[in-house]
Amino acid sequence: MSWKESIDELRARERLAEKMGGEEPVSRQRGRGKLTVRERVAFLADPGSFQEIGKIAGRAEYDENHQLKDFLPANMVVGRGKVGGTQCVILGDDFTVRGGAADASIRGKMIIAEKMAAEYRLPLVRLIDGTGGGGSIKMLDKDPRTYIPETPGWELVVENLSEVPVVSLALGPCAGLGAGRVAASHYSVMVKELSQVFVAGPPVAIAIGEDVTKEELGGWNIQAKNGTVDDAVESEAEAFEKTRKFLSYLPSSVHERAARTEPTDDPDRREESLIDIVPTDGKTPYKPHKIVESCVDQGSFFEIGPYWGRGIVTGFARIDGYPVGILAGNPFFLDGAWTADTCDKVTRHVDLCDTFHLPIIHFVDCAGFAVGVRHETAGVTRRGVRSMAAVYQANVPICSIVIRKAFGLAGSAMMNPTRTKWRYAWPSGDWGSLPMSGGIEAAYRKEISEAEDKEAYLEALYAKFDAIRSPFRTAESFLAEDIIDPRDTRPSLVDFVHHAERMLEAGRISKGYRP
């Protein structure tokens, strides 16, 4: 007696599952310039590492002799595999099977992926293409009744955001639950001209009087620029590479520390270009990326959210091999003033770094919260206060490098000042409750109007206050703890990071960290 016949049937069913939705749907998928779900998993996971779960789950048909007649696999591929050396749970939608709709899904496959990620403390990567198991009108043919909506397993989606790194790649039109799963992540990527993200697609939009294409409704030009997704790339291959890079900076869960890589850069390196990178006129913008890249380990800066909240640059980097979070004011956008979406971006990134115990380096150049009707209408005050709360609530160490401006409430949100201030300032620093430019004329309006030589009087006022605003005056009262040569920034950051790591490793800062 042998079970060979059963094993033969198992292999036959596996081959049927590998056909996905069949020859025609697979051909259509590739014709749209998209990979199939199995190709995506093969490109994403390290070679030979993927172990599938529930491969032969699906809808079977049998003949009168109880023999398998036809088989349609569930429209999700689930399993474990390494991504850039990190063991992950991978969940991929199969658009070739009913466009990923619920009437071809098996709910348990999505749930086991989310549950396994949380329980076994593994990062989760979702390859989303379609509704992701969302509703379909055709479902009513099989069960002719409506229902009060619930989202089974959503509690697991929420839990994972506080437990493990979650990456969502939008690789086609993502609607309903699919769109929700894209947004419910720590890092999300769209492929330009290939993927769209929306609550409901164009046919539903027509019902409210909007005749739009998928791209006009939810293309990357909308969703990457409003912060719904973090990045947009040119190809699926680039999306997979971004995923590997993102995960490389993070621990597998909040219960661990992110790994240090072997340092390859001189910790004492002094970058000569920093001495004159900030224009001396106090007005001309500079590129913050150049400052960041000069101070962190060479080639290690990974930007997150480049298309939205552009008053701040955010991302990850390494300092002497240790992963850190990066914030950097961007004077190319409203002189670095924090708009409503900039505030949201600060909140999101600080929370991300705090969740996974990454020290934060903040290169400060902030002209305050953005002023004007447009910004007030966008809710800059409420969202600004929320960003300040995120900074104050963070348990990870924050080191601030004041590059130039730091004004008002937003300027004060460079760190939590009630804790030990680990802060350095460049000689280009310019700070206060409000900028002096413009404020002098307002404060001395009467005196200026009464002066015999108004121009001379105003010139004298500017000279007086220009001396007062010197960062060295601030340093005299220990309100600017250390003014440094910009070229000493990297060695100073290396020193900070080693102390921060010692504190984090001892578990004395991150409340959620349990070594």
First to last CA, the chain: 52
Q: Measure Cα distances from 105 to 49, 76, 98, 276 in Å.
A: 25, 7, 9, 59
Structure tokens at 344: 């949201």
Ramachandran area for residue 499 (φ above 0: left; ψ -120 to 50: alpha; else beta): alpha
**Residue 61: other Cβ atoms inside 10 A:** 9
How high is the mean pLDDT of the chain? 90
Of the pLDDT bands very low, low, confident and very high (cuts 50, 70, 90), residue 513 is: very low
Query: By three-state DSSP, how is residue 90 classified?
Result: strand
- Among 78, 134, 65, residue whose Cα is nearest residue 103: 134
> Which residues, including other chains, have CB under 8 Å from residue 4's CB and lie 6 or more apart?
none
Which pLDDT tens digit goes with each residue over 485-504?
999 999 999 999 999 999 89
**Rounded CA Rg of the chain:** 27
Is residue 344 within 8 Å of 309, Cβ to Cβ?
yes
* Dihedral sign from CA coordinates of 421, 427, 429, 430: positive
> Which residues, including other chains, have CB under 8 Å from residue 356's CB and lie 6 or more apart?
165, 250, 251, 254, 258
Structure tokens at 434: 């409000």
Distance CA 178, CA 76 (A): 12
**Residue 293: other Cβ atoms inside 10 A:** 16
What pLDDT is stored for residue 141 in this prediction?
66
- Higher pLDDT: 356 or 212? It is 356
Exposed/middle/buried for residue 254 (C-beta within 10 Å: 0-12, 13-18, 19+): buried
Q: What is the dihedral of CA 274, 279, 280, 283, to 10 degrees?
A: -140
Helix, strand, coil fractions of the chain, as percent rounded to 5? 40, 20, 40
Of the pLDDT bands very low, low, confident and very high (cuts 50, 70, 90), residue 137 is: low
Distance CA 5, CA 62 (A): 18
Which pLDDT tens digit goes with each residue over 412-435?
999 998 898 999 999 998 888 766
Ramachandran area for residue 282 (φ above 0: left; ψ -120 to 50: alpha; else beta): left
Which pLDDT tens digit goes with each residue over 285-308?
999 999 999 999 999 999 999 999
Task: Please count the CA atoms within 13 angstroms of the CA of 320 that sit on its side-chain side.
Answer: 16
Task: Give yes or no for residue 360 having a pLDDT over 90.
Answer: yes
What angle separates helix 288-295 from helix 489-505, to the nearest 10 degrees?
Answer: 70
Is the pTM for the entire model greater than 0.85?
yes
H helix and E strand count, the chain: 21, 17
Task: Please count the CA atoms within 13 angstroms of the CA of 196 that sit on its side-chain side.
Answer: 17
- Among 341, 422, 436, residue whose Cα is nearest residue 380: 341
Is residue 405 within 8 Å of 367, Cβ to Cβ?
yes
Of the pLDDT bands very low, low, confident and very high (cuts 50, 70, 90), residue 140 is: low
Please, what are the domains in the chain? 35-58+74-248 (3.90.226.10), 272-434+470-505 (3.90.226.10)
Which pLDDT tens digit goes with each residue over 170-181?
999 999 999 999
What pLDDT is stored for residue 476 in this prediction?
81
Residue written as tokens 């002066």? 451
Which pLDDT tens digit goes with each residue over 184-234?
999 999 999 999 999 988 888 877 888 888 998 999 999 999 999 999 999
Query: By three-state DSSP, how is residue 76 classified?
Result: strand
One-letter amino acid for residue 12 of the chain: A
Q: What is the dihedral of CA 345, 349, 351, 357, to 10 degrees?
A: -170
What angle separates helix 236-248 from helix 37-44, to the nearest 10 degrees?
Answer: 40
Distance CA 231, CA 240 (A): 12
Exposed/middle/buried for residue 478 (C-beta within 10 Å: 0-12, 13-18, 19+): exposed
Distance CA 117, CA 444 (A): 63
Distance CA 487, CA 77 (A): 51
